[in-house]
Amino acid sequence: MALRKIVTLGDETLRRECKKVDKFNLRLSMLLKDMADTMYDAEGVGLAAPQVGILRRIAVVDIGDHLYELVNPEIIYRSEEQQTGMEGCLSLPDRRGIVTRPRKVTVRAQDRHGRTFEVEAEGFLARAMCHELDHLDGHLYIDIMERELSEEEIQEYARSQELTEDRE
Ligand code: NI
């Protein structure tokens, strides 16, 4: 397992536009593996290549049930219906904001072998996909957040999540 260093706000890599991947080789497979390991180690639900200093259109997402490896992803459908909720980012530790996103999206991407596939995502998965794809164009959630949560609000939210998990 090779963990990569996650860059944080202020690193210019986070603000650059990423280039398309055109080589589907061992190096790409290793990067995807490292990115997933790094995301799990940091207890995140998504990670984009620029967050580990690589300006390529690559992201991994796993909200708890499936690992999506997304190479050259694009959103080909966004629902008009929106969702508003809390969002964070591994490159902005200990911060959270309220962000509105489409409730459903369809993402078209390639896998590590270059095969094209589509994912229909809704709810939190749709939010995670939008967030990670934004990274590939140098955009961060703080650019579009309605407001930033205070430390008390973040703790309150964490407690309410624990209560929900206790009930399940
Ligand atoms: Ni992020």
Q: What is the CATH number of the domain that holds 160?
A: 3.90.45.10
Closest CA to 62 of 88, 32, 40: 40
Between the alpha carbon of residue 22 and those of residues 19, 42, 57, the distances in Å are 9, 28, 10
28-53 average pLDDT score = 98
SS3 142: helix
From ligand 1's centre to the CA of 143, what distance in Å?
12
Residue with tokens 């990423």: 18
Query: How many domains is the chain partitioned into structurally?
Result: 1
Residue 4 lies in a domain: no
Closest CA to 37 of 62, 70, 73, 8: 62
Establish whether 69 is a catalytic residue.
no
Do 99 and 89 form a contact (C-beta atoms < 8 A)?
no
Residue 111 lies in a domain: yes
pLDDT given at position 158: 78
Residue 142 lies in a domain: yes
Q: What is the pLDDT of residues 10-27, one digit of tens each?
A: 999 999 999 999 999 999
Separation of alpha carbons 35 and 166, rounded Å: 31
pLDDT given at position 160: 82
Residue 102 lies in a domain: yes
| Whether pLDDT at 166 is above 90 | no
Residue 78 lies in a domain: yes
Q: What is the pLDDT of residues 131-150, one digit of tens each?
A: 999 999 999 999 999 999 99
**Catalytic one of 43, 132, 146, 151:** 132
From ligand 1's centre to the CA of 47, what distance in Å?
6
